[in-house]
Structures are given as structure tokens and as C-alpha cells.
Structure 1
Amino acid sequence: MLQILVRTLILLSMLSSAKAFAESPDYPLGPGDILRIQVFQNPDLTTETRVSESGSITFPLVGALEVGGLSVASAENKLAAALKKGGFIKQPQVTIVLLQMRGNQVSVLGQVNRPGRFPLETLSRVSDMLAAAGGTTALGDDYAIVTGTRNGQVFRKVIDIPALYLDERSEEDIILAGGDTIYVHRAPVFYIYGEAQRPGAYRIERGMTVMQALAQGGGPTPRGSEWWLRLDRRNADGVVERLSPKMTDAVQPNDIIYVRESIF
């Protein structure tokens, strides 16, 4: 039920108008961006430059400067500090204008309906990119992993997908940078066999209990008993343990629930 609601909200997000990425003051500069840089009362320093694949730009007097992952305001401050520290200008006032965004793409991979690479010119946040990729598949996990670089450092964040749409947790819906990758793993599953109405593998929902897992499998057949279950679970050492579960026990990934035949 939660998955259906989340997918519906993603589709609604796809229909809503997307914000222009460059309008955000937090837009992170990335490879391919073209910038116009001006220094107040120093017109000879006016420069148009492209952010390199390594996330740096070249500016007169300063040379190479790392700006990948920085906002425009942060890049302005960093360049001003470099000009002042080098003794070139006492009180530099730097203005950077983002002229074009080129090559800024995000890869959305794994359990999504339309995996691929998507441009950042139209979409900016995790929810936008998941919507562009058609949302998660029925087998998709509730968590996505975002990887990339920020300020020259490796960046990795685990995103709670339902929270993006249900809890309005804006801090989870991070702004993406060029070269980022969003990966949605396959959701963990459990298996139910024996005297179950619909034996097979099923997705584990959050907080799922043995009772809910049994219901997912259609319940026991007329010959089966819900009170006569066996559970095979692999422990931390890789050894399979055979348990007699309670209905309120939590289901874990790769659990095998066997519905045995009633003795009556």
C-alpha cells in the first residue's frame, strides 16, 4: 500500500512544473558549466571560463581554482579570498554569472522504470530525478544511494524515498550536482512455501511481521495451519537456523517461511 502511494506521488511530481535548476542559490557548479567572472573596477580581469572535468577553473593571477560542488556565492567568496591572499587586490568584489550548464547530468540506475542519464538543466533534486526516471519499480527498495563528489571529496548519502513524499523531509531531498549517481537497490525479499495459497518470493515491507508475510502469501490452504510454521534464517555466521516463529516476529531479508500441514 505504501509503495502504491509513493508511486502515485512520484507521478504527480512528474506532472508538476520543474524548477529551473540554475534559479536555486544552492546550485552546485559542475563540469561543463560556463561562467562569466567580473571583478569590480578591474575590467581587464573579466573572464569567461568553463569548469573542467576535475571541477576547477583557470583565472588570471590566481591560476587553477577548485569550484566544483560550490554554489555561485561560495565560488565568488573563494576567488575573492584567493585574489586578496595573493596581494593582487586589497578588497576584491567578485561577481560570477552562470552563462550555460553543459554536461551536467545525473545517472539514475537500478530498480527504476526508465534508468538512464538526465540533464540538470530541468531537474535539480532527488525527487525530481526519480520522477524523471519514472519512479521505482515494484521491486525497488525504499532507499536510494546518491554518490558523487563535493568540494573534491567523495560524497555518499542514503535517501529515504517514502520520506521525500510522505514526511516532507526537505533535508532528504538534496540538490544534485553534475556527475552524481542515484542507485535504487532491489528490495529485500522473503520466501513462503508449503501449504500457502500463493507460494513464492515477496517484497519485505517496513516493519513486516510473520502474520503479515503469511497474509501476503494468501494465508494457509485448507490443509495448512497458521500455527504450524517453520522459519529458516541464515545467521551472522552464514549458518541456516530452523526456528518456530511467533506471528509477531519481524521478517528479515531472505527468510524462508514454510507453512506445514495441519496435524488435525
Structure 2
Amino acid sequence: MLKQGLISVLLWTLTLGHAHAADTLQDYRLGGGDLIHLTVFQNPDFTGDRRVSESGDITVPLVGAVRVGNLTVQEAEEKVAEKLSEGKFVVKPQVSIVPIQMKSAQISVMGLVGKPGRYQLDARFTRLTDAISMAGGVVQTAPTVGLNGGDRVILKGTRDGQPFTKVVDLSDIFVRGLDELDLPVTGGDTLYVARAPQYYVYGEVQRPGVYKIERDMTVRQALAQAGGLTPRGSQNGARIFRKANNGVESELQPGLDEPLQDNDTLYFKQSVF
């Protein structure tokens, strides 16, 4: 029973992945250099791999050149079917097109990655983590220099003809195992790896500096990350300086279980005793 359950989960995962891939491919617009596999059902003479020319054409036996450049996969299927029907080569043709190499598709990867820039999608199905890997992975830096490696990826593009934005926490994919957040990317997408949330700590602590805010981090945990108090420090003397969205700074007297926010400045005073 356990084995059958594991097989069922695996099949469901694979099906879900292929469903995401199919949705993404339907949005993709063909362009010069792409390699596609053309299938005309029950007509093997028309079936085979076709390279899209720089002018956007593919060559179909008997039909000749068919312009598919800048068409979606579905539109290209309809265009080829129309040409086959017009020439009376096939009665009620059923056409399927599957991109194999998407040479014309490019994505932009920016932010805290090793090699920011534009990258070509050569694979039929590229996930968010694949794209980050192509760009050299997430930059990891020492916390004391004021720049912490990115946790969050902002994905912007177009899906179903509408603007699309998604913020993904990489730790949710790798630590929590939420593979459904490892989204497929398509041509024209932009990925931005944002700086991780961070806080500043100074005063009577062992290691003042700039540190990354972990998930649900509290003042107590921040103090431990900074090495604890010096012999002169006081937990009761903790202060948080926090800026609101309008730029106004407020001073808080937090308890040790107070959660931290991005760009908080945490200060520990000297004990009066």
C-alpha cells in the first residue's frame, strides 16, 4: 500500500509539472531559430522536426513556407492546419506543434545573482530555479558588509495575455519542499533576486553589524545572532528604531519576543548597575 501511495504521488507530481509546462508553452510565441516538432495526425509524411527561419517561416512538405513567427503555439497549429486544408492535402487536419529548442526566447535575470543578464531558453521547460542557476546562482555575502544574499525572487511576465507578477521565497522551495512554487519561466520574463530582509544591531552586543532576518525572527534571536550582550549590556535597555513607509522614524521599547521587520535598527543600552 505504501509503495502504491508513493507511486501515486509521483505520478501526480509529474502530471502537475507537465500541466504547468503545457500552459507555459501555449503562451510562448515562436521566433527565428526555434526548433519545433510538427505532427499531423495519421499523416506521417508531414510529421517531423522543423527549424523556424529568421524570417519566421517553417517548411511543410507540399505546402511550402508557412509563416509562424510571432504566433503562439496554438495559432501556429491553426495556421498549418489551414494551409493543409486550403491545398486539399489533408481532410480536416489535426496539427500539433511542440517547441523543442526555444532559441528566440530570452529572459532577464537581475539582482543578487552571480551573472546578471539576458539568457536564452534552450529547453522546452525551464523552471525558476533553472533560470537562477543559469545566472550563476544567488550571491551569498558576509553579513557585516551590509548585503545579504537574496531569499525572494520576483517573477514578472505575461500569462494568458495578462501581466503576471509572483514573489517566491526560495526557502519555501528548498527547505519546505514546496515544488509547486518552482514556477516555469517563458520568453520575455524578468526575474529579480531581491536582497534578503536585514536588521542593524549596535550598542552593548558582542558582534554589532548587519544581519539577515530569518523567518519570524524575534529580538531574542537577533541578540543571540549578534553574540549576546557584553558584560555591561542590559536586555531591558533594548530599543528598535523603525521607519514607516512615509519615512517617519519611531522608537520602540520591545520585549524579547518582539518580531523584527526589514531595516530595523536594534540598540542595546548599557546597564545602569
- Closer/same/farther in 2, CA of residues 246 and 52 from structure 1, 3 Å limit: farther
- When normalised by structure 1's length, the TM-score is 0.70
- The answer (yes or no) to whether the contact 1:79–1:94 under 8 Å persists in 2 is no
- The answer (yes or no) to whether the contact 1:57–1:66 under 8 Å persists in 2 is no
Aligned residues between the structures: 235
Separation in 1, partners of 2:163, 2:172: 24
1:195 corresponds to 2:204: yes
- How many angstroms does 1:156 deviate by? 2.0
Deviates more, 1:26-35 or 1:137-146: 26-35
Separation in 2, partners of 1:207, 1:263: 31
Q: Which residue matches 1:5?
A: none
Q: Which residue matches 1:150?
A: 159
Separation in 2, partners of 1:83, 1:38: 14
Q: Match for 1:135 among 132, 137, 148? A: 137
- Closer/same/farther in 2, CA of residues 81 and 246 from structure 1, 3 Å limit: farther
- How many angstroms does 1:163 deviate by? 1.7
Matches within 5 A, 1:68-107: 68=72, 70=73, 74=74, 79=79, 91-96=92-97, 98=99, 100-107=101-108
Separation in 2, partners of 1:177, 1:113: 21
Matches within 5 A, 1:109-120: 109-120=110-121
Matches within 5 A, 1:4-23: none
- The answer (yes or no) to whether the contact 2:77–2:96 under 8 Å persists in 1 is no
- When normalised by structure 2's length, the TM-score is 0.68
- How many angstroms does 1:261 deviate by? 0.6
1:74-102 Cα shifts (integer Å, max 9, x gaps): 55765588789x9x987331132546431
- Closer/same/farther in 2, CA of residues 92 and 156 from structure 1, 3 Å limit: same
- The answer (yes or no) to whether the contact 1:65–1:79 under 8 Å persists in 2 is no
Separation in 2, partners of 1:125, 1:31: 21
- Closer/same/farther in 2, CA of residues 78 and 246 from structure 1, 3 Å limit: farther
Q: Secondary structure at the match of 1:247?
A: coil
- The answer (yes or no) to whether the contact 1:127–1:164 under 8 Å persists in 2 is no
- The answer (yes or no) to whether the contact 1:144–1:158 under 8 Å persists in 2 is yes
Q: Which residue matches 2:52?
A: 50
Q: Which residue matches 2:177?
A: 168
Deviates more, 1:191-200 or 1:229-238: 229-238
- How many angstroms does 1:34 deviate by? 3.9
Deviates more, 1:31-40 or 1:166-175: 31-40
Q: Match for 1:263 among 257, 266, 272? A: 272
Code of the residue aligned with 1:140 in structure 2: it is G
- Closer/same/farther in 2, CA of residues 156 and 64 from structure 1, 3 Å limit: same
Q: Where does structure 1 lack aligned partners over 5 or more consecutive residues? A: 1-20
- Closer/same/farther in 2, CA of residues 115 and 99 from structure 1, 3 Å limit: closer
- The answer (yes or no) to whether the contact 2:239–2:252 under 8 Å persists in 1 is yes
Identity of aligned residues (%): 39
1:204 corresponds to 2:205: no
- The answer (yes or no) to whether the contact 1:67–1:151 under 8 Å persists in 2 is no
Separation in 2, partners of 1:171, 1:104: 23
**Which structure carries more relative contact order (alpha carbon 8 Å, separation 6+)?**
1
- The answer (yes or no) to whether the contact 2:101–2:122 under 8 Å persists in 1 is no
Separation in 2, partners of 1:261, 1:236: 30
Separation in 1, partners of 2:94, 2:230: 77
Separation in 1, partners of 2:68, 2:97: 16
Q: Where does structure 2 lack aligned partners over 5 or more consecutive residues? A: 1-17, 141-147
Separation in 1, partners of 2:201, 2:67: 64
1:33-74 Cα shifts (integer Å, max 9, x gaps): 244656566989x99573989xx97998x9778644x5xxx5
Q: Secondary structure at the match of 2:139?
A: coil
